[in-house]
Amino acid sequence: MSTESLFRPFSLKSLNIKNRIVMAPMTRSFSPGGVPTDQVAAYYQKRAEGEVGLILSEGTVIDRPSSSNDPNIPHFHGEQSLAGWKKVIDGVHYAGGAMAPQIWHMGIMDNHHSGWVPPVPFEGPSGLNRPGFVNGRVMTEEDIADTIAAFGRAAADAKRLGFDTVEIHGAHGYLIDQFFWNETNKRTDIWGGKTLGERTRFAVEVIKEVRQQVGEELPLIIRLSQFKPSAYTNKLAASPQELEEWVSPLVDAGVDIFHCSQRRFWEPEFEGSDLNFAGWVKKVSGKATITVGSVGLTGEFLAAFAGEASQPSSLDELLRRMDRGDFDLVAVGRPLLADPNWVKKVREGRKEELKGFTKDALAELVMG
């Protein structure tokens, strides 16, 4: 099947990218003290040279004292870290690419395996990371207000440094998702609520603040997932109606693109239709969507952490859905972590040169 539809340009507001392929955000823990190094800049520049349309950075944390559980995850605040990010975006632009930071607050976390802990306890809507697991404190009104402001400052810095768009990490069981999920949001004030619609309030306020800081023209992306690493089969929205209740307030607040995280893009979201998560979100929101999850690989990413190897796989099913108009963009994670030239190889039809994925690739910043 022709891969041509992946190589159409895409434009939205001030964002112009040369193809439909997005590098998925992937934590690398190669930024000692939260500062992205020259190696990190070179790693991203290589992906831009390899023709990735839009690069999403690894999750990079906002200015709250316990927004991270790992000292080697990059910060998106502070002079030194922002100077590191400036080198990253300049390198990506030099190579003809476009990029967004994925701005992140982890919320309530497990302690890092190294024993490192942040200077103050983790914080979240109710102190819970998952049912029965408390590891931090309940956020006060003041904490919430400062966290919203810190997301806004990170977005303003992204724009000032020259990034092309901003992605807010609202997926995978981290802070924003801890507000969405009834199992981790037990609040009885305005930040909680019985319905998913009510529990979007925190995300809505973050998006409004970010929009306020970056103006109307910079597109805003939010990443969402139904699953959590602690609950693979979880459905925050159990029906298309609930999905609408979830995403409509986010649209009204200013989201332009929904990044719909799945482990396997071909899995239908609801019974009675083969539309996937990105397909449904596009249908109910009318906004552009990004699909993701095992594109070009046989196995999914959480199994990869546990050591399962994946082989290259056909793109035909992805292209069938794309040509039907289910989504606008396609994010690719592990293939780009392991091979900066994956996009170029796909465009040139060099199928036999595509690599599989093994856990070894996680241990280094693969440069070529």
Ligand X SMILES: Cc1cc2nc3c(=O)[nH]c(=O)nc-3n(C[C@H](O)[C@H](O)[C@H](O)COP(=O)(O)O)c2cc1C
Interface residues with ligand X (CB under 6 A) are 24-27, 58-59, 102, 169, 171-172, 223, 261, 292-295, 297, 300-301, 332-334, 362
Whether 94 is a known active-site residue: answer no
Report in angstroms how near the CB of residue 350 gets to ligand X at its nearest.
19
Nearest-angstrom CA–CA distance, 89 and 162: 7
Residue nearer to ligand X on the CB measure, 12 or 365 = 365
Which has the closest alpha carbon to 32: 82, 75, 87? 75
Report in angstroms how near the CB of residue 26 gets to ligand X at its nearest.
4
DSSP tag of 327:
-
Report in angstroms how near the CB of residue 2 gets to ligand X at its nearest.
21
Beta strand ranges found along the chain (DSSP E): 10-12, 15-17, 21-23, 54-61, 98-104, 123-124, 128-130, 133-134, 137-138, 166-169, 220-225, 257-261, 288-292, 329-332
Report in angstroms how near the CB of residue 201 gets to ligand X at its nearest.
22
Check if the beta carbon of residue 27 is closer than 8 Å to that of residue 333. no
Angstrom CA distances, 193 to 137, 199, 243, 253, stand at 19, 6, 16, 19
Residue nearer to ligand X on the CB measure, 6 or 292 = 292
Annotated active-site residue in 43, 44, 94, 174: 174
Residue nearer to ligand X on the CB measure, 26 or 149 = 26
Residue 138 forms beta bridges with which residues?
124
Residue nearer to ligand X on the CB measure, 24 or 343 = 24
Q: Which residue has the tokens 């040509």?
A: 323
Nearest residue to ligand X, by Cβ distance, number only: 333
Active site residues: 174
